[in-house]
Structure 1
């Protein structure tokens, strides 16, 4: 992202141990990427124009997802948005097969699950976001963009 949008400032916000590991792996002076430690469930979320949550929402229950998305909505600058990168189930939940396998993995390892586009849209709308756009990429992960 830093190379594609060199005029942008990018902040990686994650738990302290993740930030520490990321800084060691990605520490490059002048690349426009900053690191900030925090817990998006317990502390403040930095203000931004765009939040990118890649394979985050599927980890959590709907209640925790709504709490997180509401916090992001409040921190998000007006006109900004949130971009979710997730594997999308079909609306009838009968596929794609790989996404069903991902969902089974979530059942075993975490509290979350894979969801359909309408489930993500509903959560985003309940959190205050609007103009939800879903893009199936044809790859392992899809994109959902919503605007504040």
Structure 2
């Protein structure tokens, strides 16, 4: 799983996922702790970090490759939402190139699995706007 890394053969969400996402209603998640533990673990694994390298929305993070405070995360949550069986996470990543990413996870109390990820445009304000951009084909990514 490589959340935040877009394959060169970017595609829109596949038919079954697209139809499910179209009917899905996400409840806004306003903090990292509001995400299910399995989703947080999935993000951490995809980042390849010892801890979840993700700042809260609006919090400081390392936006550029100039490291002023090495204790700051390199990513920041922008928007997230969960339905009864999926979580959609939109975050930004600092560094030489400031980029935005989206990840879709299937989750239940029994387990969590990565479904899809993409590089996304910046400036999307809400998780519903992220969902609409995916459905319109404006955000294309990869499936495992």
TM-score for the superposition, normalised by structure 2: 0.25
Greater fraction helix: 1
- Higher-Rg structure is 1
TM-score for the superposition, normalised by structure 1: 0.25
